[in-house]
Amino acid sequence: MNRILVPIALAVIVEAAVPLFAQSPSALQSDMHHAMSHDEHSAAAAAPTFAELEATAAQLEKARRATEKYRNVHQAEADGYRVVGPDVAGMGIHFVRVSGHASGFDVEHPAILLYEKDTASEGGYALVGVSYLFDAEADPDGQPKNPPFPKSLASWHRHSDLCVLPDRSVKGQLTDEQCRAEGGQFTALTQWMVHAWIWKDSPTGVFSPTNPTVR
């Protein structure tokens, strides 16, 4: 099997214990779609209430205030974020937090920062959004139990059977034994993941898997 560089192979071991995380299959190129299996469901959710809208807007505003400094990519690097994977239209370039903060969901400390190339921005990158990880059991609707963003607004996704290799590329459809034989680390099922396009509006929604304006 050929090695594939998954745009959000995000399969970095954070403090030696954080599970892998990967992008929504609707955003992956066809070869990546066939190379990896995933556990994603688009469950029908009730319309959001005013309280949910208000609370979510407050959370995202906190995220914007906390990540304002990362509009300078050099500050992100200084705080422990490192680029993983290639630049892919609609998803951008992913800087994964590999040090400097505990793992898990924290709206003010996203696990991943999303950038696009921009020669007019400091360091040549413009911040366009963030990504969060969440560790929880699955509900019957195929979404995590008690997610930090309401199901009526955000659809979470996760992937299965991923092997991260020493060069941070990823292979799919390998067994644990095959992965270890290649010096990789196998993850049977990743944490839940969601994007939030809080620095560059997405015409398909703030929590959409991809942002068509990101080139």
> What's the half-sphere exposure (Cβ side, CA atoms, 13 Å) at 99?
5
What distance in Å separates the CA atoms of residue 143 and residue 139, rounded to the nearest whole number? 6
Output the furthest CA–CA distance in the chain (Å, rounded).
Answer: 52
User: How many helical (H) and strand (E) elements, i.e. helices and strands, does the chain have?
Assistant: 4, 9
* pLDDT digits 0-9 by tens, 25-53: 333 333 333 333 344 444 456 789 999 99
- Residue 203: both structure tokens together: 């015409």
* pLDDT digits 0-9 by tens, 95-114: 999 887 766 799 999 999 99
What distance in Å separates the CA atoms of residue 34 and residue 25, rounded to the nearest whole number? 10
Residue 4 has what pLDDT? 30
Helix (H, G, I), strand (E, B) or coil at 95: strand
DSSP 8-state class, residue 10: -
pLDDT of 212 strictly over 70 = yes
What's the length of the chain?
Answer: 215
